[in-house]
Structure 1
Amino acid sequence: MAKLYFYYASMNAGKSTTLLQANFNYHERGMRTMLWTAAIDDRSGPRGEGHAIESRIGLHAGACRFTADTDILAKVQAVHAVEPLSCVLVDEAQFLTAEQVWQCADIADRVGIPVLCYGLRTDFRGELFSGSAVLLGIADTLVELKAVCHCGRKASMNLRVDAEGRAVAEGAQTEIGGNDRYVALCRRHFSEALGR
């Protein structure tokens, strides 16, 4: 029976690396996969250019890009009807809409293809992303990937920083960036940085 998985973590925990390793494992066994990532994250280049999924350690792969309007279920079914898929892998899953998360559940439940979603649990304020909230609620399997705070404890929070490295407490929930904009911290150091 196919399942819906949610692998979640803070920044720098290796979510994309783990996704790409899983993809490699399927391909090594002659199985076909379909990769997805959020169109909003265009750090690897505009649509159709560069590698859609790229890890900090240099692994990369092409992927379909979803927006809030993308019917992931319909697109997966169309591909699966022509050439059967063994797995669907979704990077930046925090940006899925609630409806798209349910589509991923339908891919597992009705189409019979495992769906592995990877993403952030919370934003820079410590609040759940909507896609992550639904995944935490309905995924068959939840797996927390670990990152490390500068103090050596588990980093579970994502601190947004400005160009001078100062903590940012206000702003839009989504602002794309890497190590230049976010620091993974334990809850204690996250709270201290925000003056809580």
Structure 2
Amino acid sequence: MKGSLHSDSDALFNDMAHEVIRKVLNIAEDKLLQAQIDDPVEVEEYLCRFFIEECAGMIEGASCFTQVDATLGAESYLMKCLGGFFERPHRLYRTLTPPKLRACGTQLSYHSSYYFPRYRAILTQRYIEELQKPDHAVLVGAGSNGVFHLAAASLPGVEEEINRELRRRGLTHDAAKVPVSDLARRKQASGRPKLLDQGKLQ
């Protein structure tokens, strides 16, 4: 539901969604260790980069960051980790009802650094990679670049840094944009507060 509104309570830590996310990431990690990557550090980086690309891809094309798109990107990531787009997904996939998936996507999007310790470092590397493209490549579509929007919403001071750099290279408008309300909620999400009444994930 792309048009649904987020509330301030969404930024708070949801323990029940956390348990589901933890299981999903463990499943994805085990698959990578068994079939593709032997180094646990590389596995962690792979999963984090995959998450960043999925969220940035969902935001791509928008004129600014929106939490709804970021949440949808996180939902898509979780489903793909469970093989949800293949013929035989993991059995946990069948338990992800729409409300549960939305709660988990919201939790993962707001608390990305909790699940991926190098999230900020890897996202920093990604937006720098975008800025290092030739002028004609980076300036065209800069205002709808999902990596720029995600970095601006996730890393302190980066919105101004990206826009300043692009203006130096000839752009006449701000490319990275984050609505004040979304930015405030994402700042609120730092730490691990609890909801007073989370209800039950159905």
Decide which structure has greater helix share.
Answer: 2
Decide which structure has greater strand share.
Answer: 1
Please give the TM-score of this superposition, normalised by the length of structure 1. 0.30
Please give the TM-score of this superposition, normalised by the length of structure 2. 0.30
